[in-house]
Structure 1
Amino acid sequence: MAERRLWILGTALLGAAALFLAWNLRAPVEFILGLRVTKLAALVVVGAATGAATVLFQTVAGNRLITPGIVGFDALFVFLQTMLVLALGGLGYASLPGMEKFLLEAACLVISAVALFGVLLRKGAGDVIRMILTGVVLGVLLRGLAGFAQRILEPSEFAIVQQSSFASFGAVARQELAVAGVLLLAALAGAMRLAPSLDVAALGRTKARTLGLDYDRLVLVTLSLVAAMIAVSTALVGPVTFLGLLAASLAYGWLGTPRHALLIPAASAIGALILVAGQFVFERLLDYQSTLAVIVEFAGGLLFLFLVLRRPRP
């Protein structure tokens, strides 16, 4: 049954992608189709990376109410944008080569996340909650520093920071997208290889170690994959904090199985489907250009509150 539902998700994603590409396609067909293919690929990459990373993160954290963004990825990204504009000015920032900027941001995000995970979990992976709380505090600190720096920017420079701090799928370079796609495929392949071990890890640290699983090593490897996927997607289009929570929650509810070999591709497909279908509705049907990220964050925030409020008290 779960396998059949996974195939249904794949079919729905293919249908949404075909509709996104073919709807109201007019001359010049090749030019317009090329733009749509690039945007579609960006939507799929970001949605798949965010959905899969959230499932992995929730498993090692033992909590389905959190997302990787809670440890400060979005705050670090905004801080990097602010510091670049502050150091280079608006013109210097705009003249940065796209590929070099993408690689720099992705590398900073990955290195910061791996350093956070490695330092806080060096004595073992049993204190993931301490790592999450530290990430939350660092995120608040980075937001405060970014807010302070933004106050001394010129209005035009502040507008550049604001524009680059929100997710945008309209201006993704193909070279950056190709690199992000390759890295995502590698990370997803690694996650799928870990799927049987993640099924055991979901039982809890004590039970997993009793069954012979090297739990600490698995957590560090899994968090490294999470860092890579979230860093690449964030550097590509910007932060989308609650998309992963939507995708992971829907994947658990739709499949009704704890098997990560099915949950990981399902969350990836649902994350991509949310973005592709949402972009199609707002861009093709409603003729809006920049509301998708806001709507996804709003819906994800409502889902988070719903999950928190309906959770039974201990």
Structure 2
Amino acid sequence: MDRRVAALALVLLAASAAYLLWGIGGNWRFVLGLRAGKLAGMLVVGASIGVATILFQTVSQNRILTPAIMGFDALYVLLQTALVAALGVTGFAMLPVGTKFAAEVAVMALAAMALFGLLLGRGAQDVARMILTGVILGILFRSLAGFLARVMDPNAFAIVQAESFASFSRIDGALLPWAAGAAALAVLAAFRLSSRLDVMALGRPVAVSLGLRYEAMTFATLALVAVLVSVSTALVGPVTFFGLIVSGLAHSLIASARHALLLPAAALIGGAILVIGQLVFERVLGLQSALSVVVEFVGGLFFLWLLLKGRIR
């Protein structure tokens, strides 16, 4: 194992141990079980978003883009708004958690796959057209969600607002086996494609000349992105800029274009950021739901820094 990846693994292990054991007391079995569930959820989300962002940037040939640009977050908000508008506050609260999670993942993944299949069917070289279409659909989804929000009851709107922001402290333990299983399969598939991703990163003309089936590889990579982002979004809510932070740190720390190193580094960095951040906010500052706000703020600043530094690729 590369020393840098091993060091990141040790950092994540230490942060996880601190999150589990810091200030534990009283009924330690109950507390440990509760914290273990949150920890597992953060690791799933961090790894999923980190790996998905690296994959998406490889396909788009641009390190400033994240999968969020395809409208996943807007579709998630529209789904929550439509459910609350159709079922009411009581009906929404009574929805089976597992069924709701599976439906959200299925809708987001199938919508993404339909978009990818439709726009890449005539050539994967037109990735820019796909990204632009995703941006337009995201605007459409946000507009529809805004329209529904304007005509609903204020109490229902408060529920929609609560569901529209990511929360790493309300992860449902019953969903973790399914989310972790789907994310693990997608991450393992991405690792197995590492060498082909290295070739894809060279650009379509070079990749095709080296014998890579570029169209099929592009579609397969985007399918993995769709699964990973759908699972993480359905589990904690939409996170726009987190992947940009993770990918930027992974490229800076690894200083290599090899996906065999970038992918595990991104997974470890994503998990470490969430665990350390939640540890600070919960144990040190005594807060519960500020991490997602801080992550989005820092990610937005990092996005602006990339623009000012001219590092668009």
Q: Which residue of 1 aligns with 2:295?
A: 296
User: Where do 1:55-70 residues align within 5 Å?
Assistant: 55-70=54-69
Structure 1 residues not aligned, in runs of 5+: none
Q: Which residue of 1 aligns with 2:241?
A: 242
Distance 2:222 2:240 in 1: 17
Distance 1:54 1:98 in 2: 27
User: Where do 1:113-262 residues align within 5 Å?
Assistant: 113-262=112-261
Q: Which residue of 2 aligns with 1:109?
A: 108
Distance 2:225 2:81 in 1: 24
TM-score relative to the length of structure 1: 0.98
Distance 1:199 1:313 in 2: 19
Q: Residue type of the partner of 2:183?
A: L
Q: Residue type of the partner of 1:48?
A: A
Distance 1:31 1:313, change over 3 A: closer
User: What is the aligned residue count?
Assistant: 313
Q: Residue type of the partner of 1:107?
A: A
Q: Residue type of the partner of 2:172?
A: A
Q: Residue type of the partner of 1:221?
A: A
Distance 1:313 1:41, change over 3 A: closer
Q: Is the CA contact (8 Å cut-off) linking 2:46 and 2:270 kept in structure 1?
A: yes
Q: Which residue of 2 aligns with 1:52?
A: 51
Aligned structure 1 segments of 4 or more residues deviating by more than 3 angstroms: none
Distance 2:266 2:235 in 1: 20
Distance 1:312 1:20 in 2: 35
Q: Deviations over 1:37-78 (max 9, x none)?
A: 000011110000000000000001000000000110000000
Distance 1:312 1:278, change over 3 A: closer
Q: Which moved more, 1:76-85 or 1:161-170?
A: 161-170
TM-score relative to the length of structure 2: 0.98
Q: Deviations over 1:226-280 (max 9, x none)?
A: 0000000100110111111111110000000000011001001101111000000
Q: Please report how far the alpha carbon of residue 16 of structure 1 lies from its aligned counterpart in structure 2 after TM superposition.
A: 0.2
Structure 2 residues not aligned, in runs of 5+: none
Q: Please report how far the alpha carbon of residue 171 of structure 1 lies from its aligned counterpart in structure 2 after TM superposition.
A: 2.5
**Alignment partner of 1:223: what SS?**
helix
Q: Is the CA contact (8 Å cut-off) linking 2:63 and 2:312 kept in structure 1?
A: no
Distance 1:215 1:313, change over 3 A: closer
Q: Please report how far the alpha carbon of residue 313 of structure 1 lies from its aligned counterpart in structure 2 after TM superposition.
A: 8.8
Distance 2:295 2:277 in 1: 8
Distance 1:43 1:106 in 2: 17
Give the percent of matched residue pairs that are identical in Structure 1 and Structure 2. 53
Distance 1:183 1:289, change over 3 A: same
Distance 1:85 1:215 in 2: 42
Q: Residue type of the partner of 1:267?
A: A
1:25 has 2:24 as partner: yes
User: Where do 1:94-105 residues align within 5 Å?
Assistant: 94-105=93-104
Q: Please report how far the alpha carbon of residue 170 of structure 1 lies from its aligned counterpart in structure 2 after TM superposition.
A: 2.2
Distance 2:311 2:281 in 1: 36
Q: Residue type of the partner of 2:119?
A: L
Q: Please report how far the alpha carbon of residue 124 of structure 1 lies from its aligned counterpart in structure 2 after TM superposition.
A: 1.2
Q: Is the CA contact (8 Å cut-off) linking 2:166 and 2:237 kept in structure 1?
A: yes
Distance 2:249 2:292 in 1: 18
Distance 1:68 1:231 in 2: 10
Q: Deviations over 1:160-184 (max 9, x none)?
A: 0000111112222222111000111
Q: Please report how far the alpha carbon of residue 3 of structure 1 lies from its aligned counterpart in structure 2 after TM superposition.
A: 1.1
Distance 2:170 2:69 in 1: 26
Q: Please report how far the alpha carbon of residue 312 of structure 1 lies from its aligned counterpart in structure 2 after TM superposition.
A: 6.3
Q: Deviations over 1:21-48 (max 9, x none)?
A: 0000011111111110000011110000
Q: Is the CA contact (8 Å cut-off) linking 2:149 and 2:157 kept in structure 1?
A: yes
Q: Is the CA contact (8 Å cut-off) linking 2:246 and 2:266 kept in structure 1?
A: yes
